[in-house]
Amino acid sequence: MSRSLIYRYRALCFLLVLFCFPQRFATRNLPEAEQESSTAKATQIIHVSNNTWHDFYRLVNVQVGSHVSGVSELKRYLHRFGYVGDGSESFSDVFDGSLKSAISLYQENLGLPITGRLDTSTVTLMSLPRCGVSDTHMIVNDDGIHTTAHYTYINGKPKWNRDRLTYAISKTHKVDYLTSEDVKTVARRAFSHWASVIPVSFEEVDDFTAADLKIGFYSGDHGDGSPFDGVLGILAHAFAPDNGRLHFDAGETWVVDDDFTRSPELAVDLESVATHEIGHLLGLGHSSQESAVMYPSLSPRTKKVDLTDDDVAGVLKLYGPNPKLRLDSLTQSEDPIQNGSVSLRFLPGNFIGYVLLVVFFILFR
Ligand SMILES: [Zn+2]
Ligand SMILES: [Zn+2]
């Protein structure tokens, strides 16, 4: 076998390896930060020990009828989000039938398989930080029987009857480590996600009292009947039209501009939570679709700011479309192949393919 032929066979083997394991090579070439971010997204469950939130993992697979310490805490959790009783009774540690029903409803609302059991996925979701707005007392979409929609509305379907809303950020209720400019920048971005799809504009003003929407950071019991709980647990809450209050828990480690390095385990993305809460300010309830911005739970170190088809469909039915919105940009988002962002993702793969093809022809012409 001639030496040039050996070189050609070696080159062919190299090309075959590249073709067979493109992901492996692509991942190696990712910037360090991007690799870290993709790892964080893949690992949705982050176990954090803190004194303010529940650890329900010890209740996995507890059977109906059994008496286990911690069940009363679970009942209080489910009561907090509208699933159990009216709060007047004291909760026992017995896993009774009403708790089973509450778990089934929770599973239905959060898009889990409805088993009525405390399976691992249910307990995991209950242990994640989330929005403080109740999942019940909401009305489902009115698309009729044949629907795949998951969005809901606040009971009574309240909405703003104006196309221009003002918002102000509290100068007194804030967190020290974020500048007012940082918070304003995040708020602008969060409002723009919604303003791009509905004919409602949001204008930042200084006068907090007169503003339609009032945003601030609050701790513990702050006088609106929905106390915050410190690190993780409940992250924020907002009130439906035309109340206009949006409160962030000052106890969180809020992060702007994806800087999750400051507190790797506890960091919560401010824009993601702001975008979710603005949905409530507009009248949307929680979605049972996990990818939706209006899904109630959000893992630490997670950025979720892009409205999904479900979020968009829900808010469009309340406010109608923004006339400036190009219809094709909406329809494109329903077709991943035509979606620009998805196409871009495939481009590097195509490029490598073209390069390899050229190298192949040079070697074997
Ligand atoms: Zn919410
Ligand atoms: Zn509040």
Within the chain, which residue ranges are assigned CATH 1.10.101.10? 57-126
- How many residues make up the chain in this entry? 365
- Among residues 3, 302, 286, which one has the least CA distance to residue 129? 302
Task: Please state, in angstroms and rounded to a whole number, the distance separating the CA atoms of residues 10 and 18.
Answer: 13
Residue 149's pLDDT is 82
- Among residues 194, 199, 201, 273, which one has the least CA distance to residue 235? 273
Residue 84's pLDDT is 86
Tell me if 341 sits within 8 A of 306, measured CB to CB.
no
Q: How far is the CA of 241 from the centre of ligand 2 (A)?
A: 15
Handedness of CA 243, 248, 111, 192 (dihedral sign): positive
Q: How far is the CA of 237 from the centre of ligand 1 (A)?
A: 6
What residues act catalytically?
277
Within the chain, which residue ranges are assigned CATH 3.40.390.10? 138-319
Q: How far is the CA of 118 from the centre of ligand 2 (A)?
A: 30
Residue 260's pLDDT is 83
Neighbour tally for 292: CB within 10 Å: 25
pLDDT digits (tens), the chain, 365 positions: 455 555 565 554 444 434 433 333 333 333 333 333 333 333 333 344 444 466 788 899 999 999 999 999 999 999 999 998 766 567 899 999 999 999 999 999 999 999 999 999 999 999 999 999 999 867 776 555 445 789 999 999 999 999 999 999 999 999 999 999 999 999 999 999 999 999 999 999 999 999 999 999 999 999 999 999 999 999 999 999 999 999 999 999 999 988 787 677 899 999 999 999 999 999 999 999 999 999 999 999 999 999 999 999 999 999 999 887 655 455 444 433 233 222 222 233 334 444 444 444 455 44
Task: Please state, in angstroms and rounded to a whole number, the distance separating the CA atoms of residues 239 and 248.
Answer: 12
Question: Is 330 exposed, middle or buried, given 0-12, 13-18 or 19+ CB atoms closer than 10 A?
Answer: middle
Q: How far is the CA of 277 from the centre of ligand 1 (A)?
A: 6
Residue 353's pLDDT is 41
Q: How far is the CA of 40 from the centre of ligand 1 (A)?
A: 22
At 169, give phi and psi (nearest 5°). -105, 130
Residue 342's pLDDT is 26
Nearest bound ligand to the CA of residue 235: 1
- In SS3 terms, 31-87 reads as CHHHHHHHHHHHCCCCCCCCCCCCCCHHHCCCCCCCECCCHHHHHHHHHHCCCCCCC
Residue 89's pLDDT is 63
DSSP state, residue 159: -
Nearest bound ligand to the CA of residue 295: 1
Q: How far is the CA of 202 from the centre of ligand 1 (A)?
A: 20
Task: Please state, in angstroms and rounded to a whole number, the distance separating the CA atoms of residues 221 and 77.
Answer: 17
Nearest bound ligand to the CA of residue 249: 2
Q: How far is the CA of 129 from the centre of ligand 1 (A)?
A: 11
Neighbour tally for 106: CB within 10 Å: 23
Angle between the N-to-C axes of helices 71-80 and 97-109, in degrees from 0 to 180, rounded to the nearest 10:
50
Q: How far is the CA of 245 from the centre of ligand 2 (A)?
A: 7
Q: How far is the CA of 219 from the centre of ligand 2 (A)?
A: 9
Nearest bound ligand to the CA of residue 294: 1
If one looks up domain 138-319 in CATH, what number appears? 3.40.390.10
- Among residues 215, 315, 212, which one has the least CA distance to residue 274? 215
Q: How far is the CA of 29 from the centre of ligand 2 (A)?
A: 45
- The CATH number of domain 57-126, selected from 1.10.101.10, 1.10.10.10, 3.40.50.300, 3.40.640.10: 1.10.101.10
Neighbour tally for 365: CB within 10 Å: 5
Residue 343's pLDDT is 27
Is 173 in a helix, a strand, or coil? coil
Nearest bound ligand to the CA of residue 272: 1
Nearest bound ligand to the CA of residue 274: 1
CB proximity list for 29: less than 8 A, separation 6 or greater: none
